[in-house]
Each structure stands twice: as C-alpha cells, then as structure tokens.
Chains A and B, each alone.
Chain A
Amino acid sequence: MIAIIHDYGGLLLVGLRQTLICSLIALAASLLLGTVVALLEVAPERWLRGIARTYIEIFRNIPLLVITLFFYVVVPLYVIKLNGFVAGTIGLSLYTSAFIAETIRSGIRAVDPGQMEGARANGLSYWQAMRVIVLPQAFRYVIPPLGNQFVNLVKNSSTLAFVGGFDLMYQGNNIASDSMATMATYAVIGLLYLAITLPISSYMRYLEKRLA
C-alpha cells in the first residue's frame, strides 16, 4: 500500500481533486435544482406540481449511469461536445437533485402550516412567505438527510470513471492495471473515499441524535 502511495501519489492526488471538484459542483447544482423542484412540488398551481413530479420520477427511476452516458454519448451528437468530467457532473447533479427535492419537500411539509398562514395574514405573498419564513425552517429539519445525500453523491461520483473523468475511481483502475497490485490499490482508493465520506456520515449521525 505504501509502495502504491509512493509510486502513484501524483495520480492519486489528481483523482482526489477531480472527485472533490465534481462532488462540490454537483452538490451546489443539485441543492439549487432540488430546492426549485421542491418549491414547485408544493406550489398551489396544479400544473407546476405536475412538472415537478415528472422531473423527480424521471431522474429517480433511471440509473445514474444511463443519465451520464446520455450526456456523454447522445448530447454530443446533436448539441455540444462534452468531456467526461462535464458530462459526469451534469448527470450526477440531475440525478441527485431529484432525491434532494424529495428530501426538501418533506422538510417543507414538516413546517407547521400555521407559519405560512401567519405570514400570509401579515401581508406577505405566497412566494415571499415561502422564501423568508417556511424554507429557512424546512432546511433545519433536513440537514441530516441532506448530509446523507451528499455522502451518496460523493460515492456516485465514481461513475465518472466510466466516461474518463480522471476521478479517484478512474485513477485507481489505471493504477491497479499498471502496478498489478490490485488489492493494495483498491485498499488505498477505498481509504481515500472513506476519508471524505466517513466524517460526513458520522457528523450527520451525531446531528440526528441531537435533533431527536
């Protein structure tokens, strides 16, 4: 294992960097998209709710790899050429946003309806009340499940390896076939993933216990 780190340290660092950059971009994008979709899903207008439901059902029920390959294989044919990293990050963002939307929606539902009624009675419009009063409270409820979604996102970023995204899994694969020391390589790669995911999931478990 030490030999792997010594001989391939540079590649491992590149992989770690790509995995982290992809995860952070996808986290920001899927939080934003997920929040918008969640808001549409609780909107008073029926057609907005329909759009949100369709979006969620599509991206939740198709494998991430199929979505990623769509952006890597199909989109370049008709629209614009995307490299593996970009295609993978877009796929990951869309896929995760559907799960985040569901999480945030459950948070919004958990906020006492009296909050919305009170805000409306005080003269705020529906969307003002949602943004200023309801949503901030909803976010507090959903921090632990959102953290778990982030752990899933980091793990799922390994689909970049399928499309040449130079992430940790991709480098691991190359190092394994180059060094022939497959077990040692996968152990190192596994430890690097755990270094990102374990602290987040244990912190979320702590938060869950404290909130309960």
Chain B
Amino acid sequence: MLHDFIAAYTPANLRYLFGGLGLTLLVSVVSILASFVLGSFMGIVRYVRIKGLSAIVGGIIDVIRNLPLILILFFTYFGLPNLGIRPGVLVAVILAMTIFESAMLAEIVRSGIQAIDKGQMEGARANGLSYWQALWHIVLPQAMVKMIPALVSQFISLVKDTSLATIILLPEMLYRSQIIYGQDSNYIVPMFVAVAALYFAVCFLLSILAHWLERRQART
C-alpha cells in the first residue's frame, strides 16, 4: 500500500495534479469576480423594484437557483453550439459557473441590502441625496461589508463545484487524477487521497477565513 503511494506521487504526477488545482482556482476566481459584478447588478435591480424589470430579473434568478449546475454546464457546452455559439471548454465552464453563481450572489446582495437599517436610507435622503445616491454611497457600502463572509462561503462552493467540469473534460484536478490512475489501477487510492486532501486544504482554509471574518464583524 505505502509502496503504491510512493510510486504514484512522482514529481511529474504531482506537478500535473497541482497544475489541475491551479486551473480549478483560476476558474473559481474568474467566475466569482464575474458573478460578483453580474450578481450585484441583478440583486440591486431585484431590490429596487423597477416596474417590470425587477420581476423579470427576479424570475431569472429563481429559475437559475433552482436548476442543477450540471444542467447549466451542459447547456453552455452542448446547447449553445446549437445556437451558433461555440465556446471552448474553459469558456463554457466559466460561463456556466458565472450564470449559476450570479443568481446565488444576487440573492445574497439583495438580502444584504435588506438587512441594512432603513434609517440609513431615510437619513441620507433627508440630507438631500437622491435615492440612487443614497443607495450607492450609503447603503451599498455597508451591505457589501456585511456580505463578505457569505461571499467567501460561495467561493468555497465554487471551488468544489469546478470538479463537475470533469464531465466535459476540463483538465482540472479531478480530471487529471483520473488520467493518472487510468495508467495504473494501483494509483487509484493514492490519487483519491491526494485530490481529497488538496480540495480539503483549500476549502478548509477558506472556511476558517469566513468564520474569522464573521466573528470579527459580530464584534464590531
């Protein structure tokens, strides 16, 4: 058993696996940044109740949130070519993650804004700011700070969810581990241990960060 581990963890294999982890993190970071922009926009639109538009955006958010990510992944990779758009694997994955995660973040943003004391808005309006000025300069900055722990939690699920991209052969960490143990079935256990440990290390550290941020906020 131990001998299998030593045989499996060659520098070349480990380098290959870590490359996959790099891709996992790259996909996650790009997707969370894009989702943050798109999700904030959708969350604000849903919150401010613009006639018609808010209802449509709300409906889109609810539909996306209630669909499996794998379905959205298949949609961007296998479905979009039917409409004449042919994204590569990496683009299809980032697109699917961004669509899915924006809907999640939109709800976080909306409830974050709702949690801010109504007096903040009233005070700002009373001091002569317009509704949008008050929302942008007074309410949103406070809501964003409160949302940071939830954002980190979403980032953790994003990192875990990138493993689903194995199914459309994105060479991320899980996919690469399958390539390695495909060469020798004695490597199955060492590869599972390595992949689980690496995902765990990344996600656990992030969850400690989220927890620490939450506690720091509770104090202030």
A binds B: yes
CB distance from A119 to the nearest CB of B (A): 29
Could you name 14 residue pairs across A and B whose Cβ atoms are closer than 8 Å? A61-B156, A63-B164, A64-B160, A66-B174, A66-B196, A73-B188, A151-B66, A155-B69, A158-B68, A176-B74, A183-B79, A186-B74, A186-B75, A197-B67
CB distance from A59 to the nearest CB of B (A): 10
A198 touches B62 (CB 8 A): yes
Interface-facing stretch out of A4-12, A83-91, A187-195: A187-195
CB distance from A23 to the nearest CB of B (A): 12
Query: Given the known A-B contacts A158-B70, A159-B70, A201-B66, are A66 and B199 also in contact in the complex, defined by CB atoms under 8 Å?
Result: yes
B66 touches A65 (CB 8 A): no
Residues of B within 8 A of A121 (CB): none
Kindly report which residue of chain B lies nearest to residue A64, judged by CB atoms: B160
Since A63-B199, A74-B189, A202-B62 are in contact, a sample of 15 more A-B pairs with Cβ atoms closer than 8 Å, ordered by chain A residue number, is A57-B200, A62-B200, A63-B164, A65-B163, A65-B164, A66-B195, A66-B199, A69-B192, A77-B185, A169-B71, A176-B74, A176-B78, A183-B75, A193-B68, A198-B66
A18 interfacial contact with B, CB 8 Å: no
B68 touches A155 (CB 8 A): yes
Residues of B within 8 A of A60 (CB): 203, 207
Residues of A within 8 A of B189 (CB): 74, 77
> How many angstroms from the CA of A73 to the CA of B68 in the assembled complex?
23
User: Which of B163, B166, B188, B207 contacts A74, CB < 8 Å?
Assistant: B188
Residues of A within 8 A of B199 (CB): 61-63, 66
CB distance from B205 to the nearest CB of A (A): 9
Residues of A within 8 A of B188 (CB): 73-74, 77
User: Which of B67, B71, B167 contacts A162, CB < 8 Å?
Assistant: B167
CB distance from B113 to the nearest CB of A (A): 16
Residues of A within 8 A of B164 (CB): 63, 65, 159
B6 interfacial contact with A, CB 8 Å: no
What 9 A-B pairs are tightest by C-beta distance, nearest first? A61-B203, A158-B68, A197-B66, A63-B160, A63-B163, A155-B68, A158-B70, A65-B163, A61-B204
Binary contact readout B167-198 vs A (1 if CB under 8 angstroms, 0 otherwise) = 10000001000000000010011001001100
B65 touches A74 (CB 8 A): no
Binary contact readout B8-40 vs A (1 if CB under 8 angstroms, 0 otherwise) = 000000000000000000000000000000000
Binary contact readout A167-198 vs B (1 if CB under 8 angstroms, 0 otherwise) = 00100110010000011001001100110011
B122 interfacial contact with A, CB 8 Å: no
B63 interfacial contact with A, CB 8 Å: yes
Most chain A C-beta atoms within 10 Å of own C-beta, residue among B69, B74, B83, B207: B74
> How many angstroms from the CA of A176 to the CA of B70 in the assembled complex?
14
Most chain A C-beta atoms within 10 Å of own C-beta, residue among B65, B67, B82, B192: B67
CB distance from B146 to the nearest CB of A (A): 18
Chain A residues within 8 Å of chain B by Cβ, number? 37
> How many angstroms from the CA of A66 to the CA of B161 in the assembled complex?
10
> How many angstroms from the CA of A169 to the CA of B74 in the assembled complex?
10
CB distance from A153 to the nearest CB of B (A): 11
B200 touches A182 (CB 8 A): no
Query: Given the known A-B contacts A74-B189, A158-B68, are A182 and B79 also in contact in the complex, defined by CB atoms under 8 Å?
Result: yes
B67 touches A190 (CB 8 A): yes
CB distance from A92 to the nearest CB of B (A): 12
> How many angstroms from the CA of A77 to the CA of B74 in the assembled complex?
31
Most chain B C-beta atoms within 10 Å of own C-beta, residue among A62, A159, A202: A62
Kindly report which residue of chain B lies nearest to residue A193, judged by CB atoms: B67
Binary contact readout B140-170 vs A (1 if CB under 8 angstroms, 0 otherwise) = 0000000000000000100011011011000
Residues of A within 8 A of B174 (CB): 63, 65-66, 69
Residues of B within 8 A of A162 (CB): 166-167
A155 touches B66 (CB 8 A): yes
Query: Given the known A-B contacts A66-B196, A74-B192, are A186 and B70 also in contact in the complex, defined by CB atoms under 8 Å?
Result: no
> How many angstroms from the CA of A191 to the CA of B29 in the assembled complex?
30
